[in-house]
Structure 1
Amino acid sequence: MDIKDIRSQFPILDQEVNGNPLVYLDSAATSQKPFQVIEAVNKYYREDNSNVHRGVHTLGTRATDAYEGAREKVRKFINASSIEEVIFTRGTTTSLNTVAVSYARANLHEGDEIVITYMEHHSNIIPWQQAAKVTGATLKYIPLQEDGTISLDDVRANITPNTKIVAIAKVSNVLGVINPIKDIAKIAHENGAIMVVDGAQGVPHMKIDVQDLDCDFLAFSGHKMCAPTGIGVLYGKKHLLENMEPVEFGGEMIDFVNLYDSTWKELPWKFEGGTPIIAGAIGLGAAIDFLEEVGLDQIAAHEHHLAAYALEKLSAVPGLTIFGPKDPAKRAGLVTFNLNDVHPHDVATVLDAEGIAVRAGHHCAQPLMKWLKQTATARASFYLYNTENDVDKLVEGLLKTKEYFSDVF
């Protein structure tokens, strides 16, 4: 499937914004959805709308088959050992919180350590802050190199026999850094710790094999990988999940309820209390089908090319500062930057007038902003439907922004 065929699958891209063709460069916040995902969700509501697992009627059976079929697609997509290791959640945040509440609070004690990095999204910081407060554990940060990467020497220096949990993003949502999770997991396991991976920015863009990485938990969101919002996944090794308690209680996750005690269903359903996100899971299954039709290796190569192209073109813009590695081999498909003394929100506003959508702010990564000595930055993020022309339009828009604020001031 070439880039024109890919773009034609995304109806939202065929529009104008403020009189200009839409240039969507905010896929790190949420990706756009192809026809087959939209149709899969529509079909469920049009033809199969029913609750799952409970009914024996035809609609209930079809809905259940589609929902559980999506779980199997996820299992294959990340190479989990069994569907028992694939839990549907509301997204990366819910998945990470589930581990922090159900696993961390039950297993941590005073003197234990949780190790993370300065580049983490708030969703991979706050749950561990709270777990540390409740248990008396210590939260430690692996320092960053000058270009925003982490060194394995620093990893080894900060992970000790007291470390019980290491939680790190596969890809930074600000710096684009691709972290060596497999190597970090090995170091964590050598010290008796578990490895938790925030896969929100990694799973949509490159092939992730949980068995090869040997991570203990992996969290990711559907909406960043062409699926609907409100659906995500928590992968966990079976032996860990079996010894964890649910964090939500009610329908769907129970086996038997007595007056004063209850028992839970087996994995993975004991973690899926209440009516699940049926349409979202079906949409996620359709998104996985689409991404695999294109090919994760092709997507990764395309984004790597765009990142390299963007670094080259943006580096030529006077007064523009790029954050993160200058070597495109060290980063994924996003570029974060600031333009002279123009506030990133103003940059984003002027770009929007040109039909260019970028993200501006602290990107839910305030500790990293402090490390960068910035209050906010602008970010352009790429996906399988973006082109070199989109990068060229961004550069043109930034030059217009620079010219506009030169005239104002």
Structure 2
Amino acid sequence: MDMDTALDVAAACLLLAAAFQRRRTARTRRWCVRPYYQHRLERGSYQSDIVQMRSVDESLHFKYVRMSPAVFDRLLVLIEPFLPVRRQLNSATRPEITNAERLALTLRYLASGESMQNIAIQFRVGHSTAHHIIIDVCQAIWAGLVDKYMQCPSKPAEWAAVATDFYARWNFPHCIGAIDGKHINMQAPHNSGSSFYNYKNFHSIVLLAAVDAQYRFIMVDIGASGRESDGGVFSMSAFGQSLESASAGLPDATDSVPGLGQLPYFMVGDEAFPLRSYMMRPYPGKQLSIDKRIFNYRLSRARRIVENAFGILVARWRLFRQPINAKPENVVHFTKACVVLHNFLQTESSATYCPSGFIDTDVNGRVSEGSWRIDFKNGGLTDITKAASNNFTRHVKTLREQLARFFLSPAGAVSWQVDAVTEIH
């Protein structure tokens, strides 16, 4: 037997041995549907818990899926056109899973922070079935809600309306939103190396968001690697690039606020963001003059809106309280569903979703922390590194000084600001 023939025979033997080993180790399917799951219609969480809550205890229904039965039904109508029709065997042992049940399962997963395996057991469906349901429903939630409940302004009049609301509620003129970024903690993706490993020593993707004066997200960028900074994610995002290129549709600089003078419209951010004509950030350092301290206080007061929005998000959707065990692309789907659900509920049932005392209150400089902060102490979204450049032009410096002078003037001052910065300092 020549060498080539011997090698061919050896290779064939190895293939046969591998095939035999696979046959020996292959799992034998014991049943088509687990006996425990066959009682889903009588004992599954949707049938035995949620259906009863709808009729006898609406407050418990809210705690379980974060919305009342009426709002749940409204949401189902909005997302049903976007739910895929899955081929499913309808029999006595495998009855159809309704769209209402699929939605309830998904909301419970997002709201509870429990593992997908636990949710599957509670609803008496297989783990892979629960996985496909949650991905499908999250995508449908985003598709069904985003155009109505999270449409980013694109016209000057729309941005001006946001700014008017900000000035009326938080005494900060020409502000078109508060912006910040957070790490979303997740399990290390397979074969990802250090791509998602951040400076705080865990794996994450970044959620960058801008918020209006009523704690609603108006722009999100989700999925950047955890290694990025706020400023880096912002500069690479489509929204950041549109602001830099002046294509975001912002109004022209105006003098619409008495005593302010002509000033462009801008976001407010922390030290992680660059100082630009479209972005105001605080003065750096600690030994600051009174006018700079007042400016920083007024900016911080306006920027507190985005901090509270993230707080509400984590407190209501406890998926974010521990590392998410999913692929990065699925973490993106979960996050998109949660942020647009936040806007939907903040619009349709804010009194229940965000009741009095749940968020921070600032009355005449006296800040009372909201109860959502308990959830952040027990785990939640993590701040991004403060890594933005502090370089800026003389023109932008002049704009910030103009705004600082306005806050000291009779037209722009609030009565408690000096006491507030004195206490802070």
TM-score by length of 2: 0.23
TM-score by length of 1: 0.24
Choose between structure 1 and 2 for higher RCO, CA contacts under 8 A separated by at least 6 residues.
1
Q: Going by fraction, where is strand more abundant, 1 or 2? A: 1
Q: Going by fraction, where is helix more abundant, 1 or 2? A: 2
